Structure 1
Amino acid sequence: MTAALVAGLLAGYGIAIPVGAVATYLVSLTARTSLRTGICAALGVATGDGLYALVATLGGSALAAALRPVLVPLRWACALVLAALAVRGAVTAVRRYRDHRLATARSTPPPPSPARAYLALLGITLLNPTTVIYFAALVLGTRATGPVHPLDQGVFVLAAFAASASWQLLLAGGGALLGRVLTGPRGRLVTALVSSGVILALGVRMLV
């Protein structure tokens, strides 16, 4: 059980720690909204990782093989979603900045609710087929050494979820601190545009 716990933690951190477009969006979302929204978004990412770890444990090899024919369309879909998020973030930031300069008292669009943020990040994470292939490779490598007890499989999945959740929550906390530091309209505009540029670049990189 200890070996499964360590393996799950390492697997969860291995897929979560590399800072990509989703992590960048999570930080910028928390900076623009609130820590509560960021926490829900972070748990959305972790839930996606945990679900893929569960699916890979139950039948990862079959699913990985089934996804290979549609790997390119899924990658395009994920890249398009990230590009849409980047464009929307940039347009919204510019619009809010102009609204603040033209009429400070004018109301701005409400930020996404915590539930909406959770579902959005969960959906983006599930669009990434690399995650299930990653977990499937780990699970198959473990099973090659011998049979795995169902309890160990459960520990592996929970540990992978916990590792991913802890890292995503750390990113959300960093976004909350960033939001407190950059509270001015110009600071929010700059960080939103930089974040949108990074997200767009990472989305394009997925297609290269």
Structure 2
Amino acid sequence: MTAALLAGLLAGYGIAIPVGAVGTYLVSLAARTSLRTGVSAALGVATADGLYALAAVLGGSALASALRPALGPLRWGCVLVLTALAAWGAARAVRQYRGRRLTARTASPPPGALRAYAALLGITLLNPTTVIYFAALVLGSQGGSGAGAAEQAVFVTAAFAASASWQVLLAGGGALLGRALTGHRGRLVTALVASGVMTALALRMALTPG
């Protein structure tokens, strides 16, 4: 049981700690909205990680074999999603910045907690890094083969908890950043930097062979 707990924690932190496009978007979202929205989005990321961990322990090597043909389409799907998010985020930030400067109109309402959760869940499920990571986990038979139902449940729960704790930490950092950057210009810069990072990561993903 202890081994399953440690394996799950290592798996969850292993996929969560490297801050890529999803983590960048999470921080940016929390900075522009609120801690509640950021935490909801963080739980969406962690839910996707937990679902892949569950699929890993239940699917075995058959899951990894089934995932291989889909990795290419998933990668391109993620490229398109990231590019669209980057463009939408930059355009929205510029539009709101100009609107505040030129008119007295109120800004559009920020995304709610449920919408943020669903959006980050979907983005993470399309993230090929997550797919490849848990496919490799399956191929290595860590937490999948030879383990009983209790050990599998502990593994999945630990992976979810580890991912959730890290993503919530990122959301908290984004919320603090949002409080620090209270001016319109600061929020514009935050959104544009996040969009730039997501665009660069999408381009690198598109140019990576395989």
> TM-score, structure 2 length as denominator?
0.94
1:30-179 aligned at under 5 Å gives the runs 30-103=30-103, 105-142=104-141, 147-179=146-178
Partner of 1:29: 29
Aligned residue identity for 1:3: A
Aligned residue identity for 1:193: L
Partners of 1:68 and 1:30 in 2: CA distance: 34
Partners of 2:54 and 2:140 in 1: CA distance: 16
Partners of 2:194 and 2:143 in 1: CA distance: 42
Q: CA RMSD in A?
A: 1.6
| Residues matched between the structures, number | 207
**Contact conserved, 1:4 with 1:153, CA < 8 A, in 2?**
yes
> TM-score, structure 1 length as denominator?
0.95
Partners of 2:128 and 2:63 in 1: CA distance: 10
- Stretches of structure 1 that go unaligned for 5 or more consecutive residues are none
**Contact conserved, 2:143 with 2:152, CA < 8 A, in 1?**
no
Q: Cα offset for 1:183?
A: 0.7
- Change in Cα spacing, 1:135 to 1:122, as seen in structure 2 (3 Å) is same
Aligned residue identity for 1:194: V
SS of alignment partner, residue 207 of structure 1: helix
**Contact conserved, 1:60 with 1:132, CA < 8 A, in 2?**
no
**Contact conserved, 2:58 with 2:144, CA < 8 A, in 1?**
no
**Contact conserved, 1:43 with 1:168, CA < 8 A, in 2?**
yes
Partners of 2:145 and 2:166 in 1: CA distance: 31
Q: Cα offset for 1:67?
A: 1.9
Partners of 2:24 and 2:16 in 1: CA distance: 12
Aligned residue identity for 2:22: V
**Does 2:191 align with 1:207?**
no
Percent identity over paired residues: 75
Partner of 2:12: 12
SS of alignment partner, residue 147 of structure 2: coil
